[in-house]
């Protein structure tokens, strides 16, 4: 590998390296990237003919556009750092590299090399020694990675913003977060205690926070995301937005679970019978659902935009002050309200998300009638829901 150019990207505060390497060197590097990050193993089957053509081009010495990688690090190298030191940093942290642009090209390169080696093709050495350019953003933070993913992802096979966020924050699955456990979909585990969440659900909540939208839309249009990212750039200074979001939501769940620790839903004594199964039967199970997380995320985003709160740190203080005089009655009311939504909703999940969006807007807005009052926030949120759907 040879560094041909170094430019500091002021927008995302990261050093960009243009590196000339060979297909053989990148083949070795890419295996670690794909093996260490399961969220980047997905490939696009529908484009097989396009990538079959690319294989032929590579065998003929075609020069393909640079593959763009990112290496998230706390330390930010400068242009003055020696090339040898930068290359050593990349080599020793290659398992932390993420592909921002060129995932399908990477799969094609790997397929081609594997096919040539299996056949013992005499062209193998020629292909392996062919030149390849890669760009590496080194010292980039996670929001910077997302920003670059969105601005680079303009090819034939764009990823949704939710998938991109999964890739960026997947390291929290391995290492956990201060008493919080994130469960992968493939593990087939169900969150059963405080501090456990499905990774996919948390990602949906965080995506709603970034998009300021409680609907879980897999957006692939770059322009839909850029404006919100511009606003988030200031908010992200000196912090990890995902980590802040996760800790804040966990604090809320723990508070509600503590308030309703002895509550178990029981229809006996209710004036109104449910039309089906309850939304959940314990406080913990209510607030472990993705509909609540997306409502929470979109509400916090809107409150920040409106200037009602400065950030998640404001919400942490509010959570500690949450009031609920009769938690059993309040949670029973919540289940009844959610059952009422089920009766009239065209898309139950979306309507539930809308309800929780207004619930959290009420709960954490100092100017609202339901500020830090769970019972009033439920009542006001249902009124808002009815006004929006009638």
Residues 47-69 have a mean pLDDT of 83
**Residue 189 or residue 84, greater confidence:** 84
Model's pTM, two decimal places?
0.70
pLDDT at 220 over 50: no
- Round to whole Å and give the CA distance between 64 and 22: 12
Q: Is the pLDDT of residue 223 over 50?
A: no
* Strands 97-101, 2-9: pairing kind: unpaired
Give the mean pLDDT of 294-300: 96
Closest by CA position to 180, among listed 264, 259, 288: 288
State what percent of residues in the chain have pLDDT above 90: 52
d(CA 370, CA 302): 17
Least confident of 163-167, 279-283, 291-295, 321-325: 163-167
Residue 137 and residue 149 in contact, taking contact as beta carbons nearer than 8 Å: no
Cα 201 to the chain's mean position, in Å?
Answer: 9
Q: Distances from the Cα of 144 to the Cαs of 138, 187, 195, in angstroms?
A: 11, 29, 28
One-character DSSP codes across 42-106: ---GGGHHHHHHHHHHHHTTPPPPPEEEEEE-SS---TTS-HHHHHHHHHHTGGGEEEEE-HHHH
- Domain locations along the chain: 2-159, 179-389
Helical spans, DSSP H, in the chain: 23-36, 48-59, 83-92, 103-119, 124-128, 142-152, 161-169, 171-175, 199-211, 222-235, 241-259, 283-286, 290-305, 312-320, 327-344, 348-363, 374-389
In this model, does residue 52 exceed pLDDT 50? yes
Phi, psi of 262 (to 5 degrees): -95, 0
Q: CA 381, CA 388: separation in Å to the nearest integer?
A: 11
More confident site: 316 or 161: 316
Radius of gyration for the chain, computed over Cα atoms and rounded to the nearest angstrom:
24
Residue of higher predicted confidence among 146 and 293: 293
Residues 180 and 195 sit within 8 Å (Cβ to Cβ): yes
Report how far Cα 55 is from the mean position of its chain's Cα atoms.
Answer: 32
Which H or E run contains 3? strand 2-9
């Amino acid at each position: 590998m040879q560094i041909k150019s170094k430019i500091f990207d002021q927008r995302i505060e990261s050093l960009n390296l243009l590196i000339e390497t060979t297909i053989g060197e990148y083949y070795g590097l890419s295996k670690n990237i794909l093996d260490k990050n399961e969220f980047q193993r997905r490939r696009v089957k529908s484009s097989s003919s396009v990538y079959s053509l690319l294989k032929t081009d590579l065998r003929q010495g075609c020069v393909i556009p640079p593959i763009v990688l990112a290496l998230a690090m706390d330390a930010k190298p400068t242009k003055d750092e020696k090339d040898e030191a930068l290359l050593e940093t990349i080599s020793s942290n290659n398992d932390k590299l993420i592909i921002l642009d060129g995932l399908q090209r990477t799969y094609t390169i790997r397929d081609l090399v594997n096919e040539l080696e299996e056949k013992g093709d005499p062209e193998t050495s020629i292909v392996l020694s062919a030149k390849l350019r890669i760009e590496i953003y080194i010292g980039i933070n996670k929001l910077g990675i997302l920003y670059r993913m969105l601005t680079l992802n303009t090819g034939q096979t764009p990823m949704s913003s939710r998938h991109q966020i999964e890739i960026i924050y997947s390291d929290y699955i391995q290492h956990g977060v201060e008493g919080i456990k994130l469960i992968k979909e493939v593990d087939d585990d169900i969150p059963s205690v405080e501090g456990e969440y499905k990774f996919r659900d948390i990602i949906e909540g965080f995506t709603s926070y970034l998009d300021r939208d409680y609907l879980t839309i897999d957006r692939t249009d770059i322009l839909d995301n850029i404006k919100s990212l511009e606003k988030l750039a200031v908010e992200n200074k000196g912090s990890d937005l995902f980590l802040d979001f996760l800790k804040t939501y966990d604090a809320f769940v723990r508070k509600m679970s503590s308030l309703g620790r002895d509550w178990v839903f029981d229809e006996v004594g209710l004036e109104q019978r449910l039309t089906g199964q309850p939304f959940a039967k314990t406080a913990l199970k209510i607030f472990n659902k993705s509909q609540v997380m997306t409502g929470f995320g979109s509400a916090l985003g809107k409150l920040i935009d409106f200037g009602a709160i400065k950030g998640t740190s404001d919400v942490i203080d509010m959570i500690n002050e949450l009031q609920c005089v009769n938690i059993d009655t309040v949670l029973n009311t919540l289940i009844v309200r959610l059952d009422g939504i089920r009766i009239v909703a065209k898309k139950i999940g979306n309507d539930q998300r809308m309800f929780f969006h207004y619930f959290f807007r009420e709960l954490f807005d100092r100017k609202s009638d339901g500020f830090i009052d769970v019972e009033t926030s439920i009542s006001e949120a249902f009124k808002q829901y009815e006004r929006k759907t009638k």
